[in-house]
Structure 1
C-alpha cells in the first residue's frame, strides 16, 4: 500500500508544503504510478488551500 504524505512546516518567511510518496516493496508498478499521480495532484490542491487561508489572514508568504 503506497502512502502519500503531506507535511506543512512553518518557515521564517512563510509556509513550506511538501507532498511525497512512500511506496512499499510489495507495491506493483501500477500502484506506484497511480499513487505518484495522486501525490502530484494533491500537492497543488493543498498549496492552493493554504495560500487562500493565509491571504484571508493578511499573510502572503506561502511557498
Structure 2
C-alpha cells in the first residue's frame, strides 16, 4: 500500500500543476484577447467612427 500512496501523491501533484498551467494559459489567452480590441479601438478613435465603436471606448 505504501507504493500506492506515493503514486496517488504524485498524481495529485501532477493534477495540481496541470490546473495551475491551465489557469495561467486562460489568463494569458484572456490578456491576449483583451489586448486586440484596444489596438482596434485606438485605430477607430483616430479614424472614422464605425458602428459599435462607442462600445470600445467605454471603460473596462
Q: TM-score, normalised by structure 1?
A: 0.44
Normalised to the residue count of structure 2, the TM-score between the two structures is 0.45
Task: Judging by fraction of residues, say which structure has more strand.
Answer: 1
Higher relative contact order (CA 8 A, sep 6+): 1
Larger Rg belongs to: 2
